[in-house]
Amino acid sequence: MATVGLIPRLAREAAAELAREMAHWLEARGHTAMVEEEAGVPGAPSAPGREIAARADLLVVLGGDGTLIHAAGLCNDREVPILGVNMGALGFLTEVPRERAFPLLEKALNGDLAISQRLMLDVEVRYRDQALLSGTVLNDAVISKNALSRLATLEVMVDSRPATTYEADGVIVATPTGSTAYSLSAAGPIVVPSLDAVLLTPICPHALTQRPLVLPPSSVVRVRLGSPSEMFVTLDGARGRPLEIGQEVWIQPSHRRTLILRNPEVDHFTILREKLRWGTR
């Protein structure tokens, strides 16, 4: 029998109600169900999120893409399959609609769903020999300006060689999974998530020739702030710190992957057509 962790979207009653229903459904079939304690769902067994991820055979996300990214961050070095049930509006990662949650959960427990192994990036903010911030991202590392900041000078190295210098509001280093997140809003390319690559997307560059780049998945990217601009580094929209002149952000492929269980009833282009409203006017 399996141990299943349920990760509902915070402050969403519909997600909490589905978590309770799903916990009872699992227990009736002999499985162990635990709801993330931080979600505050009464009437269901619960435990801290990281404790659940350390024990679970399967994680079920009840929310949107942000909730799934949160669940991936709970796993640390474990690669736990994640089934995403979409309880939000715009979900590229949570592929399962609410009405298909239980049939596809049953398939997941039987091992009948394909797994998409998503590239992650290890990120570290450094100053000289000191690590100021570190973490692993599924979507992106974003270097962006604060509200009153001026245009920044961002010196980019790829595999220890000078690549370019951006005069811009910032830069996004993203995975293919993150290509439909902030990078897309900054005119970055959409990359099929089964392809391993690293995306480098400038934010409002002060030159028409500064275009987004797609790099090999083995690339080590280093971004140094070369101007006294007020900048901030954000990891998957959840953690961050200010970036000061002379400090560097190092990004490289992680040894760990996020395992997302695929909905066999849709493919990547079905999701893109639906979410981005391709073909409509």
**Catalytic status, residue 65:** yes
Question: What does the DSSP 8-state code read for residue 272?
Answer: H
- In one-letter notation, the amino acid at residue 139 is N
Q: Enter the tokens of residue 143.
A: 């270097």
Chain center to CA of 244: 25
Identify the active-site residue in 57, 65, 169, 236.
65
**Residue 230 near residue 148, CB atoms below 8 Å:** yes
- What backbone torsions phi and psi does residue 211 show, to the nearest 5 degrees? -110, 160
Q: Which residues are CB-neighbours of 211 under 8 A, at least 6 positions away?
A: 202
Residue from 112, 141, 146 nearest 250 by CA: 141
Q: Measured between alpha carbons, how far is residue 187 from residues 13, 92, 112 in Å?
A: 35, 17, 37
**Residue 248 near residue 125, CB atoms below 8 Å:** yes
Active-site residues: which are they?
A: 65
